[in-house]
Amino acid sequence: MTRRIIPAVGPEFMEREGLAVEPAAWEDGLRAETGRGSFEWWYFDAHFDDGSTAVIVYATKPLLERGGPLKPMLSFAITRPDGSKVAAYPLFPPGEFSAAQARCDVRIGPNWARGDLHRYELHAEADGLVADLTFTGSVPAWRPGAGMNYYDDELTRHFAWLPSIPFGAAEGTLTYDGQTRRVTGTGYHDHNWGNIGLNEVMSHWYWGRAHVGDFTLIFVEMVSTRAYGSVKLPVFLLAQGDRILTGDGGPLVLQTGDFMRHDSGRSYPQALDWHWRSPEGVVDLVLRRPQVIEAASLLGFLPTWQRWLARLVANPYYFRFSADLKLTVDLGEVHAVESGTALYELMILR
C-alpha cells in the first residue's frame, strides 16, 4: 500500500507546531533530538565580489548516519576566484556540541554560529581554512506553512526546513592558502531537521535559488520514493525587494530535458523549465547552460569499511550547478523580465 506524505500547510498544522504566521527566532534554535534517529543542520553560503564562495554547515551528524549517536560535524568549503576548491569535513566529540533552543546559537568545537533571523555571525576553522562572517537578511525569514512534511498518519515522522535568510548581505574575512582576505557579497542561511531517513522517503530533488534584478527566488521540486507514490512536492518563494510576492508552491511545475551523462554514471538535465500558474498570474524560470560546481558521492562521508556495503543498497549522489536564468514575472501589478545566474542542486538519493 502506498504511504502518504502530508505537507504541514494549514492552520491546524500551525497550531499543532505552535507557530505564528511570521517565523520566530526560536524556530532557528535546536529543534530535534541529538541522539539516534534524528538529524539537524544549520547551513550558510556566501558569494563574494571577488568571485570566491564559502559554504559552511554545522550538523549534529553526517547525513547518512541519522541512526547513529550524536556525531557533530562541520562541513566547510571555499571556492577560490579561479573556480578551484578547498574543503574540510572535521568530526568532533559529542561533548564539543551545544545548541540553544531560544535562538540560533550552535557550537561545534571552536566553530560557532549565532543569530536572530535577521543578523548572524559565525566562525569556522578547519585544516587552515578560517571564516569570520556576518550575514544580514534583506528578504525576511519565511517558510511554507509550518515548514515541514510528515511521513506517517500519526504525524510523528517529519522533515522540516526554515529559510532564515532567503537573501541578504555577507561580509567578513576568509583565510585560505595562508592568506586572510576581506570579503563582501551576498549570503543565504537555512535550517533543516527531522527524524526520517531522507533516502527512505525521497528519490531525488532539485533545489535552487536566485537573485536577479530585485527579485529573490527559491524553487524546489522533491520527488518521493515509489513507496510514497513518487509524488512531486513543489516549494516556491518569489520576493521583490523585501516584499514576498508569493510563497505558494502548489502551482509550480518543472520540466526537464536534454540530459547529459556525467563521469559518475549519473545523468543530469541541461534544460530546466519551471512554470508557476495561478489565477493571480504567471511566473516562468528558464535555466540553461548549467556548469557543474560540485559532484560527489555522499558515501564519501562514511568510513571506508562501510562504503562497499552501502553501495549494495544505494549510491546517493550530489550535484551543484550554476546556470543562466531568464525570469519572467506577470503577477498582479508586477511585470518584469530579468536575466542572471541561478544556483541549484540535484540530490539523487535512490
| Residue 285: all three cell numbers together | 524560470
Q: What is the pLDDT of residue 105?
A: 98
Fold assignment, 1-196: AttH-like fold (2.40.370)
The whole-model pTM stands at 0.92
Q: What is the pLDDT of residue 294?
A: 85
* Residue linked to cell 516562468: 284
Fold assignment, 199-350: AttH-like fold (2.40.370)
First to last CA, the chain: 20
Q: What is the pLDDT of residue 314?
A: 52
Q: How far apart are CA 237 and CA 255, in angstroms?
A: 18
Instruction: Give yes or no for residue 303 having a pLDDT over 70.
Output: no
Q: What is the pLDDT of residue 207?
A: 95
Q: Phi then psi for 281, rounded to 5 degrees?
A: 155, -165
Residue 299: band (very low, low, confident or very high) from pLDDT cuts 50, 70, 90:
low
Largest CA distance in the chain: 59
Q: Domain ranges in the chain?
A: 1-196, 199-350
H or E stretch covering 221: strand 215-224
Residue bearing the bigger pLDDT, 316 or 254: 254
Q: Residues 131, 54: contact at Cβ < 8 Å?
A: yes
Residue length of the chain: 350
Predicted confidence (pLDDT) per residue in 150-198, tens digit: 999 999 999 999 999 999 999 999 999 999 999 999 999 999 999 998 8
Q: Report the pLDDT averaged over residues 271-291.
A: 97
Q: How far apart are CA 225 and CA 207, in angstroms?
A: 17
Instruction: Give yes or no for residue 343 having a pLDDT over 60.
Output: yes
| Fold match between domain 1-196 and domain 199-350 | yes
Q: How far apart are CA 49 and CA 199, in angstroms?
A: 36
| Residue 7: all three cell numbers together | 505537507
Residue 265: band (very low, low, confident or very high) from pLDDT cuts 50, 70, 90:
confident
Instruction: Give yes or no for residue 302 having a pLDDT over 80.
Output: no
**CB contact set of 326 (below 8 Å; sequence gap of 6+):** 284, 285, 286, 288, 337, 338, 339
Residue 309: band (very low, low, confident or very high) from pLDDT cuts 50, 70, 90:
very low
**CB contact set of 313 (below 8 Å; sequence gap of 6+):** none
Q: Residues 238, 329: contact at Cβ < 8 Å?
A: yes
Q: Report the pLDDT averaged over residues 49-53.
A: 96
Q: By C-alpha distance, which of 46, 34, 24 is closest to 147?
A: 24
Q: How far apart are CA 42 and CA 343, in angstroms?
A: 19
Instruction: Give yes or no for residue 45 having a pLDDT over 90.
Output: yes
| Residue 32: all three cell numbers together | 530535534
